[in-house]
A and B are shown apart, each in its own frame.
Chain A
Amino acid sequence: MIDFTLWDILRNLLLAARWTLALSLIAFIGGSLVGLALTFLRLTRWPGAALFCRLYTELFQGTPLLMQLFLAFFGVAVFGLDVSAWTAAAVALTLFSSAFLHDIWRGCVEAVPKGQWEGARVLGLGYLKTMRHIILPQALRMAIAPTVGFSVQIIKGTALASVIGFVELTKAGTMLNNATLEPFTVFALVALLYFAMCYPLSRLARHLEARLNVTAR
Chain B
Amino acid sequence: MSLLAEVSALDSASSDAAVSEKAAVTESAPVSDSALDTESAKAPLVSLSALTKSFGDLPVLKGIDLEVRPGEVVSIIGRSGSGKSTLLRCINQLEQHDGGAIHVAGKLLDGSEMDAAALAQDVGMVFQSFNLFPHKRVGENVMLAPMLVKGVARDVAEREAREMLAKVGLGEKFDAWPSQLSGGQQQRVAIARALAMHPKVLLCDEITSALDPELVGDVLKVLEQLKREGMTLILVTHEMNFARDVGDRVIFMHQGRVHESGDPATLFANPATEELRQFLGAVL
Residues in A lying within 8 Å of B, measured CB to CB: 113, 115-116, 118-126, 129, 133-134, 137-138, 141, 215-217
Contact = CB atoms under 8 A, between A and B. Distances in A.
Contact of B131 (A119, A133, A138, A141): A119
Contacts of B119: 124
B69 to A, nearest CB: 22
A123 B149 CA distance: 8
Contacts of A121: 94, 116
A115 B127 contact: yes
Interface stretch (B12-20, B132-140, B159-167): B132-140
Contacts of B135: 137-138, 141, 216
B124 interface: yes
Nearest to B203: A122
Given A138-B135, A217-B179, A123 B120 contact: yes
Contacts of A129: 148-149
Nearest to A126: B116
B129 interface: yes
Contact of A125 (B118, B127, B145): B145
B185 interface: no
Nearest to B193: A123
Contacts of A126: 116-117
Nearest to A132: B148
A162 B182 CA distance: 56
A133 B124 contact: no
A133 B116 contact: no
22 contacts: A113-B131, A115-B129, A116-B131, A118-B127, A119-B132, A121-B116, A122-B92, A122-B94, A122-B194, A123-B120, A123-B194, A125-B117, A125-B149, A126-B116, A129-B148, A129-B149, A133-B148, A137-B135, A138-B135, A216-B134, A216-B179, A217-B134
A126 B177 CA distance: 24
B144 A133 contact: yes
Nearest to A121: B116
Contacts of B134: 138, 216-217
A182 B206 CA distance: 72
Interface residues of B, number: 29
B70 interface: no
A137 B133 CA distance: 10
Contacts of B94: 118, 121-122
B60 interface: no
A156 to B, nearest CB: 33
Contacts of A115: 127, 129, 131
Nearest to A129: B148
Interface string B184-202: 0000001001100100000
A118 B133 CA distance: 11
B157 interface: no
Interface string B173-184: 000011100000
A129 B146 CA distance: 13
B123 A122 contact: yes
B121 interface: yes
Given A124-B118, A124-B149, 9 more contacts: A119-B133, A119-B190, A122-B125, A124-B119, A125-B145, A125-B148, A133-B148, A138-B135, A216-B134
A138 B179 CA distance: 14
Contacts of B178: 217
A32 to B, nearest CB: 22
A116 B92 CA distance: 16
B144 A123 contact: yes
Given A124-B116, A126-B117, A116 B127 contact: no
A151 to B, nearest CB: 24
A113 B130 CA distance: 12
A119 B132 CA distance: 7
Contacts of A124: 116-121, 145, 149, 197
Nearest to A134: B133
B123 A116 contact: no
A115 B193 CA distance: 15
B116 A116 contact: no
A83 to B, nearest CB: 44
